[in-house]
Structure 1
């Protein structure tokens, strides 16, 4: 699983500024002697990395479909485990037992005003060697759709997100009792049937319009990289903004004998049938629609006039699924720390795919294997990490982060006690560095990016990305790229295996990869293959090596740092920006309400209306009440003071007594836990982080200060004030931990 478009870009740049004579100007967390040793170690690590190994692993692991429960899924897990053992890791397979539905009946047919039956198939291509393994492939479908057999008029709903339904209401169109047709894009796919169901629709069909994902973008596969008229995007529609993981075991591990909810009781399983189709299959449905012409922004690139409906197109949608519990094989490999064995640095990527999964996820998984091999070579020379290193290849990520979430939920307390950080990757290809994560790691990641060379441009990956921001970034991003020594990283919502670590347990996390020069339409199709990847994504695997170099540095530095390289000034500055945004949202809503009601009082709407048309007076808008942001302002001021004092103490400190260092590091890596709340977010208690969360109606996309921001968007002013209080309390507790770290520095 990953975003279908490139993820949030990192950016960063120049050399990290001096800490002090006692601590190296080069590497945060190391003194001068330690930094020198670390640089030498990383150089030896880089020398071990070989692109041909990544290529060989990908060819072997993408040779057959390897979805959850398939024979080759287990075979790949055993292959990775055995490799990791051969590299010197203690390696095992931890098995969870998760619900994984697969289709047994799929029907989409136009029954009025003409007849048409969708093929729902992806053709075999002679240019794609694995595309002919039809008996092993999962067909095109959405996991965790409801079973259903429905016939109804069709309505085109654009991207099928809440604002599209608002536009339909203004057009006088109601989708109640209808089947909706939505385009992929502008939200995670699971939001589309969720919102459709909330608006009364009884079925949902999703297609990829060629304007975003097909011939409008370039030549289609196999001539070019883009989606052909027969390609379709599989995927999960589990309601992951409520909670990810096995829907039958919410909040606890899906062990073999775990108590499970009845399927009808599971709140994250979709309530209506939903299916993906190709744009070739969507074309006759769209041609059959009548009604109003779709708004200009809704129109795609198919050769027709886009209409909204409803009707005269009437569609029959029938879906049935096998609702089986399948084993999920998580590969776990460890190197025990020589000094701090109970401090864990965790690095992960998933290994399951919807079909062949060359790009998603094997492009990241093969980098994991090569990193691990390079670490094994270092161990042969006598190196041992100070902290325990855990490498993980997760299963069942594609259906809804099932493998990683169940593993985390089963070991919650141990991870809260021991996990220092979690580093994640997913898909990887040619292009620019991207990253999102905990902003206490922003400076750390900037330094790592500074020390990795871009294989195309022979400059640091940070400098290359800085150049892109200066050319293509927003005005604000350009200004910051010129003025800040490090540029900002993105915040994490959901969409990959970092989710349970940061969102549920408050373990500082990063999600890292390369992309942006790897356009294509293979995502979650049978054409996400070795042939497609090696033609269009990362032909020589040089960016796979760059990912291994980047993640290798992250793991090595975090495992061997004398003082863990967490930093709090960037975090404080980032949260101040989030607070300014939510305040601005409130002021914009207040201004809009006041302007609207003034126009009503002055009769301006009626005066501006066409006198030949019937006129309906708009309703007045509710006034926006006062929200007391003082607690948040005070907490942010306290955090800024605490962060500054910690930075100053770090600059002044010499080599610390051994006892203090161990206590200090524990305070540092557990600090993120204080940004969580045991009650979680309203109506979704699993998500406990108070600074970052996936949006309730964005799916993967992040909402920062989520309780406050979403309550404001929903005009739930009581909950917004409660959110201000809760976030302020979390930041105050977090600042107290920073103060504790400062005292230990002295």
Structure 2
């Protein structure tokens, strides 16, 4: 049934797409024709064989921060850009990068068990045996620690799991917790455990989420084997990313640094990732209540929560050495507006070999840059300066991009028109997030790129998937069939767009393909060329599709006359966020009131949202009514301003000097959405519309100041944030209105 529905959806959206014209926002009809011909020539230069070669070469060795392999990758990228005629510079920063000197995890009771903490080489994976160059399995930024305590299973280790434990009468204070990967960014798990008094945290991947429950395991299939381990950072990046010792300023050699004990983003309890091979004996030994049904994984045993007689000893030590990280910055000067920059980036460092993350995206970006270099040989010159950036240190905490942005903040806020990011890439559907003032522009891009597997546009294929997913969820509506556009996702964190968008207010995109390449290689030694060519993108055609998509984004933004910002789309998006937020608050109020009434009547069976043997939920304070009128009024002003600006731009005949003035006002408009003081308790994040969640990490929170205050039931702060956001939006509306004087 799914196949038939998908086929019908493809036919429908393909018909709708064919009826569209090929106008390009910001280009005259003649200029649009020239631009489309340029892009056709650009496509002709792209080669899947080159994407393949780039992935194979750059993933040939482990290349984590400060390693010989990292230096080799930097040299390769630098030499490639040089050979294509770019002006290339290396920019270095000096940062701590702790790696383990000691790792010990053992169960001391009721029986003894010592974890292997190792991923075995496989004959089917040629680079998995490079043990002398591989980082061991660990969580970067864990503190040193030597702790022993009772073990408690905390499901995914997110706040609501601890609420459930509290209703069961179980405390983790003074204990070591074991949590599953998933449902939040990994750094949230030790953060929440620490807040609840735990003394250590263990994280593992359960086979129900990523393992034999999902499909055949590596090397037979793509899914995580019993020995696979996900490395990764556990720095508290929702506070700020980058070097933890130089918040807000670039980590240059002479930068003033915090003492490590004063860095707000460094946790206090030791953290270690393990395989489900090592997790099973620990979980099997647990006693206490049987875990709730939705907490149970796929290991062959009954899941208990603990605590009990299961004692665990966790000992970790790290070297805390300073390392040099190196960004590769390659430029083509603009021929008309050289001080307007279109910035394109992808990181190059990996936890081990990193064929999928990040080299698949890096290789696609290099192939894109090579093709742009070929266009220059035909006599074409971009009107705006194009800047290609290969970032180092993304994996530990977005270090290379953050330190570069913090170092050049003033210049970037003057010159950066847009930042276009990519990361890992594989076969499947277009995944696009970004600034909603450029959503119509991205729809034009997606309309003009052909999916290599289905041979329809990537917009049509994405739309077809959305239709199928809506049908399966029972929410298929008439307007979804009628919809001819894709929606940009809101950006949280987890890749290098974060400092551009959320710290400086530079319009940003995050682009990539995926959805048909699930598997368990992520941050393990098995994220290799052998794994990638078998399970991720065997033809390497989706690397070409990424180059075509991001390349068009770069070329059009570099050459367009009037920049294609449409703040009507941004207004609609923010208005939808506000409407959703008010509806969420109403729902919380109704749920709280009903639950309290049921508890007062001792109707526990109906009030409880957990198994019957658990304690009932505690009564909560009733939710007050908040005054959203100032926010609603500001949104009304913004809607009028966005409509007026769009109408004026459509009719405007601009001289060259006027065009430059208007364009600068357009690309700097998103900076007006920044808050002077930033978000509560994390001032580095200044964007009032998008931010990573304080307890989600990568996951976005929209209107984050208001939304998170409501979620945390801090209603006084929520009202304050409503007024702050209203003032920002009112200022933004006035800014848009002033781009042209009203007649």
**Same topology, TM > 0.5:** yes
Corresponding pairs, count: 725
Task: Give the superposition deviation at 1:477.
Answer: 7.0
Q: For 1:115 and 1:607, how far apart are their aligned partners in 2?
A: 43
Task: Indicate whether 1:178 and 2:175 are aligned.
Answer: yes
Does structure 2 retain, via aligned residues, the 8 Å contact 1:436–1:511? yes
CA contact (8 A) 2:448 2:457 kept: yes
Secondary structure in 2 matching 1:739 = helix
Question: Within 2, Cα distance between the matches of 1:535 and 1:251?
Answer: 42
1:439 aligns with 2:436: yes
Contact 1:159 1:184 in 2 (8 A): yes
Deviations 1:346-392 (A, max 9, x none): 00000000000000000000011111110111101111101000000
The match for 2:693 is 695
Equivalent residues of 1:94, 1:330 under 8 A apart: yes
Alignment partner, residue 290 of structure 2: 293
Name the counterpart of 2:53.
56
Equivalent residue in structure 1 for 2:716, among 708, 715, 718: 718
Tell me, in whole angstroms, the C-alpha distance in 2 between the residues paired with 1:499 and 1:644.
29
Q: CA deviation at 1:652?
A: 2.8
**Residue of structure 1 in register with 2:506 after alignment:** 507
Higher deviation after alignment, 599-608 or 425-434: 599-608
> Structure 1 residues 599, 520: CA separation in 2 closer, same or farther (over 3 Å shift)?
closer
SS of 2:147's equivalent in the other structure is strand
Q: How does 1:419-498 map to 2 (within 5 A)?
A: 419-473=416-470, 479-498=478-497
Query: For 1:158, which of 155, 160, 175 is the aligned residue?
Result: 155
Gaps of 5+ in 2: 1-12
Q: Residue 607 of structure 2 contacts residue 617 of structure 2 at CA under 8 Å; is this kept in 1? A: no
Secondary structure of 2:683's counterpart equals coil
Q: Give the structure 1 partner of residue 651 of structure 2.
A: 652
Contact 1:481-1:487 within 8 A present in 2 as well = no
Runs of 5+ unmatched residues, structure 1: 1-11, 19-23
Equivalent position SS for 1:101: coil
CA shift for structure 1 position 656? 2.0
Shift, 1:602, TM fit: 5.2
Q: Secondary structure at the match of 2:99?
A: strand
Q: For residue 670 of structure 1, report the CA deviation from its aligned partner.
A: 0.2
Residues 720 and 312 of structure 1: CA distance in aligned 2, closer, same or farther (over 3 Å)? same
In structure 2, relative to structure 1, the CA distance for the partners of 1:299 and 1:602 (3 Å cut) is closer
Q: 1:677 aligns with which of 665, 675, 678?
A: 675
Name the CA shift for 1:616/1:395 in 2 (closer, same or farther; >3 Å): closer
Q: Per-residue CA shift, 1:415-434, capped at 9, x if unaligned?
A: 01110000000000000000
Shift of 1:312: 1.6
Contact between 1:470 and 1:478, CA under 8 Å: does it hold in 2? no
Instruction: Give per-residue Cα distances to partners, 1:221-248, cap 9 Å, x unaligned.
Output: 1111111000000000000000000000
Give the alignment of 1:405-420 within 5 angstroms. Answer: 405-420=402-417
Query: Which residue pairs with 1:8 in the alignment?
Result: none
1:302 aligns with 2:299: yes
Sort the Cα spacing of 1:16 and 1:686 in 2 relative to 1 into closer, same or farther, 3 A: farther
Instruction: Give, in angstroms, the shift of residue 16 of structure 1.
Output: 11
Moved more, 234-243 or 257-266: 257-266
1:614-670 Cα offsets, whole Å, 9 max, x none, are 9999765322222110111011111111111222223333x4221211111011000
Secondary structure of the structure 2 residue equivalent to 1:200: coil
State the Cα distance separating 1:704 from its structure 2 match: 0.2
The alpha-carbon deviation at position 567 of structure 1 amounts to 0.7
Q: Distance in 2 between matches of 1:389 and 1:480?
A: 39
Q: For residues 516-544 of structure 1, what are the alpha-carbon distances to aligned partners after superposition, in whole Å with 9 as ceiling and x for unaligned?
A: 00111000000000000001000111000
Q: CA deviation at 1:568?
A: 1.1
Q: Is the 8 A contact 1:645 1:742 kept in 2?
A: no
Residue 583 of structure 1 is matched in structure 2 by: 582
Q: Secondary structure at the match of 2:419?
A: strand
Q: 1:67·1:73 contact (CA, 8 Å) conserved in 2?
A: yes
Say whether residues 1:369 and 2:333 are aligned partners: no
* Pairing 1:608-623 to 2, within 5 Å after superposition: 620-623=619-622
The structure 2 residue matched to 1:28, chosen from 25, 30, 38, is 25
Q: Is the 8 A contact 1:16 1:25 kept in 2?
A: no
Q: Please state how far the C-alpha of 1:606 moved relative to its aligned partner.
A: 10
Other-structure match for 2:10: none
Task: State the alpha-carbon separation in 1 of the partners of residues 474 and 96 from structure 2.
Answer: 47
Structure 2 Cα separation of the partners of residues 594 and 459 of structure 1: 50
Native 8 Å contact 2:168 2:614 kept in 1? no
CA distance in 2, matches of 1:162, 1:497: 27
Q: How does 1:73-92 map to 2 (within 5 A)?
A: 73-92=70-89
Determine the structure 2 residue equivalent to 1:337. 334
Of stretches 475-484 and 112-121 in structure 1, the one that deviates more from structure 2 is: 475-484
Which residue in 1 is equivalent to 2:547? 548
Write the deviation string for residues 88-128 of structure 1: whole angstroms up to 9, x where unpaired: 11011100111110001000111100111000000010110
Q: Distance in 1 between matches of 2:58 and 2:383?
A: 32
Shift of 1:325: 1.0
Q: Does the 8 A contact of 1:333 with 1:392 survive in 2?
A: yes
C-alpha distance after superposition, 1:10-43 (max 9, x if no partner): xx9966999xxxxx95211111111111001100
State whether residues 138 and 354 of structure 1, in contact with CA within 8 Å, keep that contact through their aligned partners in structure 2.
Answer: yes
- 2-side partners of 1:169 and 1:620: how far apart? 13
Aligned twin of 1:123: 120
Q: 1:206 aligns with which of 203, 206, 213?
A: 203
> Hey, what does 1:735 align to over in structure 2?
733
> SS at the partner of 2:634?
helix
Offset at 1:478? 5.3
The answer to whether 1:46 aligns with 2:43 is: yes
Contact 1:358/1:533 (8 A) holds in 2:
yes
Kindly indicate whether residue 712 of structure 2 is the aligned counterpart of residue 709 of structure 1.
Answer: no
